[in-house]
């Protein structure tokens, strides 16, 4: 069985790797993923694009790769632009996602609607990026090292307002999962005319309750980093190939 790679922003060096032996999965719905489609198709390997629907705005399809490599934009930069500035230029347009969906060998899956964050009292996995701090209004480094900023879908967590942490109730958490998923599926139905059954977990984080809730909406395949949960297809970060 072919292993699955996790890819966000694409850069020239990736195309020197032996990608044809992997299923290539792409997160967030970035324009660079659409731009390099002609190169990606040369590998003749399965391609699956997981779309964060709130980031996809109306607009015409732009030009694809014709020999020129474009600037690589890091996730912390394009997420900062999207959340802080409402600048979605690094993401695909509706027309571009439609063109992908009509391409043979391409599958389209869901990656939530908002891809949002919440505060949790679990140890941080790594240093917190600026967009997450600005989005939540909370800096774990200043407020307490026992906190981190995690997936708003996978963790019940706390909201931060006027200097206070307020615990979300279990029902508020479940209601948010339903709200986010309903908006995501409405976007697919309205713009693409179909409902996907594959779902990539934002930040690769999950909770059994989240998986159960997503299954209620008809999702059958889940993608993340977990190798412990048999319901989740594990993925390898493409950057790990460069270090081999």
In degrees, to the nearest 5, what angle opens at C-alpha 150 toward C-alphas 144 and 154? 135
Q: Which value, in Å, is the radius of gyration of the alpha carbons in the chain?
A: 18
Sign of torsion, CA 7 173 79 122? negative
Sorting pLDDT into bands at 50, 70 and 90, what band is 244?
low
pTM score, whole prediction:
0.96
Sorting pLDDT into bands at 50, 70 and 90, what band is 4?
very high
- Is the residue at 137 inside a domain? no
- Is the residue at 164 inside a domain? no
Residue 234 φ then ψ, to 5°: -75, 150
- Is the residue at 159 inside a domain? no
Sorting pLDDT into bands at 50, 70 and 90, what band is 30?
very high
| Mean pLDDT value across residues 129-136 | 94
Examine the pLDDT at 145 and tell me if it is beyond 80: no
CA distances from 155 to 32, 101, 150, 208, 241 (A): 30, 31, 7, 11, 30
Residues 156 and 243: their CA atoms lie apart, in Å, by 35
| Mean pLDDT value across residues 43-52 | 97
**Per the structure, how many domains does the chain have?**
1
- Is the residue at 142 inside a domain? no
Residues 183 and 168: their CA atoms lie apart, in Å, by 21
- CATH code at position 199: 3.20.20.370
- Is the residue at 58 inside a domain? yes
- Is the residue at 126 inside a domain? no
Examine the pLDDT at 243 and tell me if it is beyond 70: no
Residue numbers of the domain that contains 22 = 3-116+170-243
- Is the residue at 156 inside a domain? no
- Is the residue at 128 inside a domain? no
Residues 55 and 86: their CA atoms lie apart, in Å, by 9
């Amino acid at each position: 069985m072919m292993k699955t790679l996790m890819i966000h922003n694409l850069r020239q060096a990736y195309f020197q790797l032996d990608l044809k032996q992997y299923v290539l999965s792409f997160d967030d719905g970035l324009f660079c993923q659409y731009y390099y489609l002609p190169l990606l198709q040369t590998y003749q390997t399965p391609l699956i694009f997981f779309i964060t629907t709130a980031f996809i705005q109306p607009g015409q399809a732009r030009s694809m790769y014709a020999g020129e490599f474009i600037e690589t934009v890091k996730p912390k930069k394009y997420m900062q632009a999207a959340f802080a500035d409402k600048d979605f230029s690094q993401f695909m347009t509706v027309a571009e996602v439609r063109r992908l969906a009509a391409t043979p060998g391409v599958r389209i899956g869901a990656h939530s609607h908002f891809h949002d964050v919440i505060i949790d009292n679990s140890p941080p996995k790594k240093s917190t990026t600026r967009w997450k701090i600005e989005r939540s209004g909370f800096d774990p480094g200043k407020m307490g090292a026992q906190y981190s900023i995690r997936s708003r879908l996978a963790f019940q967590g706390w909201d931060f307002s006027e200097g206070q942490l307020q615990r979300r109730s279990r029902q508020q958490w479940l209601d948010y999962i339903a709200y986010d998923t309903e908006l995501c599926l409405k976007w697919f139905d309205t713009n693409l005319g179909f409902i996907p059954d594959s779902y990539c977990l934002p930040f690769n984080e999950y909770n059994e309750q989240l998986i159960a809730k997503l299954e209620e909406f008809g999702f059958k395949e889940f993608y993340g980093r977990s190798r412990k949960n048999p319901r989740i297809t594990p993925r390898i970060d493409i950057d790990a190939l460069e270090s081999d």
